[in-house]
Amino acid sequence: MAASLIDGKVIAADLRARVAVEVARMKRDHGLTPGLAVVLIGNDPASEVYVRNKHKQTQAAGMASFEHMLPADVAQADVLALIAELNANPAVHGILVQLPLPKGLDTEAVIAAIDPAKDVDGLHPHNAGRLAGGLPALSPCTPLGCIILTKSVHASLEGMDAIVIGRSNLVGRPLVQLLLNENATVTIAHSRSRDLPDLCRRADLVYAAVGRAEMVRGDWLKPGATVIDVGITRVPAAEGKTRLIGDVAFNEAMQVAGAVTPVPGGVGQMTVACLLVNTLRAACAIRGLPAPGV
Ligand SMILES: Nc1nc2c(c(=O)[nH]1)N[C@@H](CN(C=O)c1ccc(C(=O)N[C@@H](CCC(=O)O)C(=O)O)cc1)CN2
CATH architecture of 30-115: 3-Layer(aba) Sandwich (3.40)
0.95 surpassed by pTM: yes
Distance 272 CA to ligand 1 centre (A): 7
CA torsion sign for 217, 220, 224, 226 is negative
| Reported CATH class of domain 141-269 | alpha beta
Instruction: Give one DSSP letter per residue of the chain, joined into a string.
Output: -PPEE--HHHHHHHHHHHHHHHHHHHHHHH----EEEEEEES--HHHHHHHHHHHHHHHHTT-EEEEEEE-TT--HHHHHHHHHHHHH-TT--EEEE-SSPPTTS-HHHHHHHS-GGGBTT--SHHHHHHHHTT------HHHHHHHHHHHTT-S--TT-EEEEE---TTTHHHHHHHHHHTT-EEEEE-TT-SSHHHHHHT-SEEEE-S--TT-B-GGGSPTT-EEEE---EEEE-GGG-EEEE-SB-HHHHHHH-SEE--SSSSHHHHHHHHHHHHHHHHHHHHHTPPPP--
pLDDT in the model for residue 168: 97
CA distance 282 to 292: 10
- List residues near ligand 1 (CB under 6 A): 49-50, 96-99, 121, 141-142, 170, 232, 244, 263-265, 268-269, 271-272
β-pairing verdict for 94-97 and 35-41: parallel
Cα–Cα distance for residue pair 103/36, rounded to 1 Å: 25
Residue from 228, 226, 231 nearest 256 by CA: 226
49 CA closest ligand 1 atom index: 27
Q: Note whether 30-115 and 141-269 share their fold.
A: yes
The parts of the chain modelled with pLDDT lower than 70 are none
Protein residue whose Cα sits closest to atom 14 of ligand 1: 50
Break the chain into its structural domains and give their ranges. 30-115, 141-269
Mutation pick for ligand 1 pocket among 38, 49, 98, 234 (CB with most ligand atoms within 8 Å):
98
Mean pLDDT of the chain: 98
- On whether the CB atoms of residues 258 and 252 are closer than 8 A, the answer is no
pLDDT (tens digit per residue) in 227-279: 999 999 999 999 999 999 999 999 999 999 999 999 999 999 999 999 999 99
Peptide bond into 264 cis (omega under 30): yes
76 belongs to the catalytic site = no
pLDDT of residue 191: 86
Known active-site residue 121:
yes
Residue among 199, 228, 196, 176 at smallest CA distance from 3: 228
Query: What span, in angstroms and rounded, lies between the C-alpha atoms of 74 and 102?
Result: 9
Residue 98 falls in the annotated catalytic set: yes
Choose the catalytic residue: 115, 118, 119, 121.
121
